[in-house]
Amino acid sequence: MSEKRTGVFVCHCGNNIAATVDVKKVAETMAQEGTVAFSKDYVYMCSDPGQSSVIEAIKEHRLDSVVVSCCSPNLHEGTFRENAERAGISGFTCEIANIREQCAWVHKDRTEATEKAIKISRSAIRRVAGNKKLDPIAVPVTRRAMVIGGGIAGIQAALDMANAGLDVVLVEKLATIGGHILQLSETFPTLDCSQCILSPKMVEVSRHPKIKLLTYSEVKEVSGSVGNFEVKILKKPTFVDAETCKLCDDCAQVCPQVVSNEHDLGLTARRAIHIPFAQAIPASYTLDEEACLGLNPIRCGKCKDVCEAGAINYDMRPETITENVGAIVVATGFDLYPQEKILEYGAGNVADVLDGLQFERLCSASGPTQGHVKRPSDRTEPKEVVFIQCVGSRDPAQHCAYCSKICCMYTAKHARLYKHHVPDGKAYVFYIDIRSGGKNYEEFVQRAMEEDETVYLRGRVSKLHRTKDGKVRVMGVDTLTGQNVEIDADMVVLALAMQPSQGTADAARTLKIGRDKDGFLAEAHPKLKPVESVTGGIYLAGCAQGPKDIPETVSQASAAASKVLALLSKPTLSHAPTIATVRNSHCTGCEMCVTACPYDAIHLENGKAVVNEVLCEGCGSCSATCLRAAISVRNTSPMQVHEMIEACLSL
């Protein structure tokens, strides 16, 4: 409140700063500033004696604020702010003037560098003159978590958290949890059956007292912020009471409506009322409203007539469920890059050209062919199969720029599975190069080549088409020999790129979390915060964040779970107090700030803007938008900037 008494501490950083900047002169010049009560230079401000000397000066000269002219605030802002707190003044009244990275290290001329250091320091003094003592904002947290997406990632995260004692809500868009793994036959690198690894986990989820499972549900709205989200979920009606359903299949038997079965990627059909697959969790039939002849008014009603258990209820309506949670894990997974987009390989119109997941279904014991590899066109056993890698991947010009990471592995797996099913068949793999980093992965690929005699051809397939005799002619080039290669295959399997699922895009929009250039969810930091989203309290797991295989997915899911557990381990969270504040007298309620705020942190109450302290990240977009100077970020007020501009232009 009273006059500022700022202390300025100019660091030599050994010779790092002092070699180019006349630190003595900086300290002396700063002493002339109106608000400066004390100024000195010292060889290493961040050293113990350096820090103690700041504390001493604060006490001796009754300083209320501190400027340390030293290295980047990224390095020691925290150090000096804590130090200031130790001396009994608010950490927020300590500012760093970066005269090393932004000055001493990038300039040679001593005079120029010194002048610039003076301006930078003076600017910091002006900034600190306007700084308020602030206390971090404490926010009570809701100690529950939500997981969106019930693939392996979501299941793992939910189980980890629930097992640690946290209440978890698991939201899955489809009628069953499980995700893509359930479509796989066997999995690399061990070739164990995917159902065998996943089913126990699915059952555990369904039985877990701490997990509330919401299938056939989608998140529609999220408000609040880290620690306290309010999530509105739309649960679609299944028209079948899961508790009562006996899984007798009577209903499906009478249902006249046949549609393609998405679980088998269109290789089989199902009825309007159906169960996605036998082990679905929740274990119940689902009436697909879109496929049904009509419920309102009821057009057919056959299923209900036959259901002895009386599980079918046409009056079920969509339900909006509101859940309060403290953190959210997004595990919305991937889709395959659409085959339609691969024009050079027939855009999905050439018979017996399959995508990887379809091939998985063909190999799967529970698949359309009960595990016998047969061509969809004529149900014959293919004797020559061509596997093409990197379809849609690593092609910045036309498709995805990124490497889909797992295709080398699953193609090797496919080749091997094929050979195990059709020992006299011939498998060719077109590849660009083989990426088999991972425990036992390289060995797995070697086995495909050696044990299972897969022919690996290095090169691109330029095109393919169907021949008159029902083969698929694959034309490519072997870049190792330089020879053109033409194979008349019985079947072609494309290792299509993984792309973020449609559900991932939807979730990103609802949750307002960033996505990267490829549409995968953006992590807060590519190296140091790989499972955090940029929004506090929202975490990422699985293929929604980037292509990965099961072990990696599971590790990431567990990592996300542990982040949530750490976050929610305390009853309150602390939030930076450098957030926007509104001057009611000046606000006219124009809502420009409301629209501008990237975090939806502002709303209007009685015609005045009100900032949600927790949501606001202090970006200042509102303040630059408001015409009436009615909103500004604490400790970065326009007044401070105004003075800093002046300081930058002094001399």
Partner 1 sequence: MSEQTYEPKIVAFLCKWCSSAGSDLAGVSRIQYPANATPIQVPCSGSVSPMYILSALKKGADGVLVSGCHIGDCHYLEGNYLARRKLHLVKELLQFVGIEENRFRMSWVSAAEGAKFAEVVKEFVDDLRPMGPQEKLKAKRA
Partner 2 sequence: MINVQDIRDTARDLLAKGEVRAVIGWRAGSRGMAAEPCVVTKPEEADSLVWDPTCYHNLALQLVNDRKDLVHSKKTATAPIGIVAKGCDARAIVVLLQEHYFKREDVYIIGVSCENSGVLDERKVKAQVGGFAPSAAAFDGDNFSVKTAKGDKKLAGREVMADRCLECRTPFPKENNTAFGDDKTGREFDAQFAALARFEANDEAARWEFWQRQFDRCIRCFACRSVCPMCFCDECVVDSIEMKIAPETTAEEKANRIRWIERSAVRSENATYHMTRALHLAGRCVDCGECERVCPVNIPLRLLNTKMEREAREAFGFDPGASIGGPSLVASFRDDDPGEFIR
Partner 3 sequence: MSMEKTLDKALLSDWIAAVTSGGWQVHGPALEDGIWTFKPVAASVDLDYPNVKQAPKDFAFPQREIFFAFEHIKGEAPRLKEVKPEAPQCAVFGVRPCDGRGAVRMDKVFSDNVNDPYYQERRKNTAYVGLACNAPPSPTCFCKSVGGSPVSSEGMDILLTDLGEIYIAQAATKTGEALMAAADKLFGKMGAADKKQLDKVHADAVAAPQRAVKDAKGAPAALKAGFDSAVWEEMAKPCIGCGICTFLCPTCHCFDINDEMTGMSPLKGQRVRTWDNCQFPDFTMHTSGHNPRETLGTRLRQRVSHKFRYFHENFGMLQCTGCGRCVSECPVGIDIVAVVNKVAEHVA
Binding site for partner 1 (CB under 8 A): 72-74, 98, 100-103, 105-109, 112-113, 115-116, 119-120, 123, 512, 514, 516-517, 534, 596, 598-599, 617-621, 623-625, 633, 636, 638, 641-642, 644-646, 648-649
Determine which residue in the list 639, 646, 650, 651 makes contact with partner 2, applying CB under 8 A: 639
Pairing assessment for the beta strands 327-330 and 334-336 based on DSSP bridges: unpaired
Q: Which is nearer to partner 3, 260 or 650 (CB)?
A: 650
In the stretch 22-61, what mask flags binding to ligand FAD with x, by CB under 6 A?
----------------------------------------
List the beta bridge partners of residue 95.
67
586 lines the binding site for partner 2 (CB under 8 A): yes
Task: Give the span between the Cα atoms of 379 and 373, in whole angstroms.
Answer: 9
Separation in Å, CA 358 to CA 185, 345, 373: 10, 16, 11
Task: Identify what 591 binds: partner 2, partner 1, partner 3, none; CB under 5 to 8 Å per kind.
Answer: partner 2
Task: Identify what 585 binds: ligand SF4, partner 2, partner 1, none; CB under 5 to 8 Å per kind.
Answer: partner 2
Residues 401-430 that bind ligand FAD (CB under 6 A): 406, 410, 413
Min dist CB 117 to partner 3, Å, is 14
Tell me the residue nearest to ligand FAD as measured from the CB. 503
Residues 632-651 that bind partner 3 (CB under 8 A): 643, 646-647, 650
Task: Give the span between the Cα atoms of 187 and 444, in whole angstroms.
Answer: 11
SS3 for 51?
helix
Min dist CB 630 to partner 3, Å, is 17
Full 3-state SS string of 88-123: CCCHHHEEEEECHHHHHCCCCCHHHHHHHHHHHHHH
455's CB contacts (< 8 A; 6+ apart) are: 426, 427, 428, 429
Residues 128-157 that bind ligand FAD (CB under 6 A): 148-154
95 lines the binding site for partner 3 (CB under 8 A): no
Separation in Å, CA 395 to CA 345, 346, 400, 517: 14, 17, 5, 14
Min dist CB 535 to ligand SF4, Å, is 11
- Of 92, 95, 86, 84, residue with least CA distance to 135: 92
Task: Identify what 638 binds: ligand FAD, partner 2, ligand SF4, none; CB under 5 to 8 Å per kind.
Answer: partner 2
Q: Which is nearer to partner 2, 3 or 249 (CB)?
A: 3
**Tokens read off for 424:** 């006299």
Min dist CB 609 to ligand SF4, Å, is 4
Task: Identify what 503 binds: ligand SF4, partner 3, ligand FAD, none; CB under 5 to 8 Å per kind.
Answer: ligand FAD
SS3 for 553?
helix
Query: Could you tell me if 286 and 300 are in contact, meaning their C-beta atoms sit under 8 angstroms apart?
Result: no
Helices (H), 101-184: 110-129, 152-163
Residues 482-521 that bind ligand FAD (CB under 6 A): 498, 501, 503-504, 506-507
Amino acid at 96: I
Task: Give the span between the Cα atoms of 166 and 329, in whole angstroms.
Answer: 13
179 lines the binding site for ligand FAD (CB under 6 A): yes
Query: Could you tell me if 623 and 631 are in contact, meaning their C-beta atoms sit under 8 angstroms apart?
Result: yes
Residues 99-128 that bind partner 3 (CB under 8 A): 122
Task: Identify what 406 binds: partner 2, partner 1, ligand FAD, none; CB under 5 to 8 Å per kind.
Answer: ligand FAD
Q: Which is nearer to partner 3, 95 or 167 (CB)?
A: 95
Q: Which is nearer to partner 2, 596 or 619 (CB)?
A: 596
- Of 474, 469, 510, residue with least CA distance to 489: 474
Q: Compute how many residues bind partner 3; rule: CB under 8 A.
A: 8
Per-position DSSP letters for 346-400, written without gaps between them: GGG-STTEEEHHHHHHHH-TTSTTTT----TTT-PPPSEEEEEEEESSS-TTTS-
State the residues that interact with partner 2 by CB under 8 A: 1, 130, 583-586, 588-596, 604, 607, 625, 627-629, 637-639, 642
